[in-house]
Amino acid sequence: MSMGILTVACFAAMLGAILATSDLWNAAKKGKTDVVIALINSGADVEASNENGWITIMVATEAGHLDTVEALILANANISAATNNVGSYGKGWTALHIAAHKKQSDIAQLLLRTGADKLVKDKKGKIPADVARKKGYSQLAKIIDDFIRHHFTQYH
């Protein structure tokens, strides 16, 4: 009898976490930072990905929500995570590639300051600065380039 109650309670908790995770995805996309934080605190999975390997920090980056990206970083979102080979665009992209593609300069700089890999290549061998350049965002490409140079003079 108590086993049954435990099983139900356990299932309810699992279901709650799954629902929280899909809510987290939607909240990240809409930039509802307070909701994002509340959902993470109630067990939503920050690293949950869709079939294309996109995780919430990528979704928030694509939509241009700086505060949300910051909250996800504070919640230990993996800034090194990359999308997979599936999908119409952005194969092998990190959040920094996505920020470059979407001209999200503030988010790109936040990711760079947080330690995002500037030299990581996507499936076509492009680093984030290449992605910005290809879109004609030369100023953003320069910001990333300058960060690379600064990083090298600092540590090499």
Binding site for ligand NAG (CB under 6 A): 78, 80-82
Q: How far is the CB of 120 from ligand NAG (least distance, A)?
A: 8
When computed from its CA atoms, the radius of gyration of the chain, rounded to whole angstroms, is 18
Q: How far is the CB of 80 from ligand NAG (least distance, A)?
A: 4
Plot region of 106 (φ>0 → left; ψ -120 to 50 → alpha; else → beta): alpha
Q: What are the residue ranges of helices labelled H in the chain?
A: 2-30, 33-41, 56-63, 66-74, 95-101, 105-114, 128-134, 138-155
Would you say 110 or 116 has its CB closer to ligand NAG? 116
Would you say 57 or 141 has its CB closer to ligand NAG? 57
Query: Cβ–Cβ contacts within 10 Å for residue 89, how many?
Result: 9
Q: How far is the CB of 11 from ligand NAG (least distance, A)?
A: 27
Q: Nearest residue to ligand NAG, using CB?
A: 78
Would you say 77 or 110 has its CB closer to ligand NAG? 77
3-state DSSP assignment of residue 30: helix
Q: How far is the CB of 96 from ligand NAG (least distance, A)?
A: 12
Q: How far is the CB of 2 from ligand NAG (least distance, A)?
A: 37
Would you say 117 or 145 has its CB closer to ligand NAG? 117
Side chain identity, residue 72 = L
Query: Cβ–Cβ contacts within 10 Å for residue 74, how many?
Result: 11
Would you say 80 or 138 has its CB closer to ligand NAG? 80
